């Protein structure tokens, strides 16, 4: 891996900041079928991102390691959002999304299509994510 192709360190702060500013936390959801949601949430939100790890978004709550509190906030959001999955705008279209996977030169955004976009595009797209705070307070 060459440093000039490794974009994650330059974008990491912006990614984490924009996601948290919209009321979301980032959890490492790698091996989710083996670990389960309770274990993923109990591990707590991440402070740093790593290449090729799968990340999921969950509501930013005071007790971020408490699955019950996180799921209560997620349920409030779902009820107030007509049970629609949160969306992100990529290339002028809105897509339901659940998270992302940082790669060496781009990211895979977990949408129904599975978008591969640059870090720059992703940081810009984060301006379009739903601010969950208005739904869960």
User: Which pair of tokens denotes residue 109?
Assistant: 């955004």
Helix axes 67-80, 32-42, angle to 10 degrees: 100
- Overall domain count for the chain: 1
Residue 130: what are its φ and ψ, rounded to 5°? -70, 135
Which pTM does this prediction carry?
0.89
Through-space distance between the first and last CA atoms of the chain, rounded to whole angstroms = 43
User: Using one digit for the tens of pLDDT, what is the confidence trace for 79-92?
Assistant: 888 888 889 999 99
Each residue's pLDDT, cut to its tens digit, for the chain (137 residues) gives: 444 445 778 899 999 999 999 999 999 999 888 889 999 999 999 999 999 999 999 999 999 999 999 999 999 988 888 888 889 999 999 999 999 999 999 999 999 999 999 999 999 999 999 888 887 76
Domain that holds residue 22: 3-136
């Amino acid at each position: 891996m060459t440093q000039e192709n490794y974009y994650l360190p330059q974008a990491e702060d912006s990614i984490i900041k924009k996601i948290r500013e919209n009321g979301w936390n980032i959890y490492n959801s790698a091996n989710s079928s083996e670990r389960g949601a309770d274990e993923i949430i109990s591990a707590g939100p991440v402070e740093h991102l790593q290449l090729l790890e799968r990340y999921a978004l969950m509501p930013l709550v005071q007790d971020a390691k408490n699955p019950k509190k996180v799921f209560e906030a997620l349920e409030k959001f779902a009820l107030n959002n007509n049970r629609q999955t949160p969306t992100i705008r990529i290339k002028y279209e809105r897509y339901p999304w659940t998270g992302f996977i940082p790669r060496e030169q781009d990211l895979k955004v977990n949408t129904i299509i599975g978008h591969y976009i640059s870090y720059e595009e992703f940081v810009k797209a984060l301006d379009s994510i739903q601010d969950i705070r208005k739904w869960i307070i």
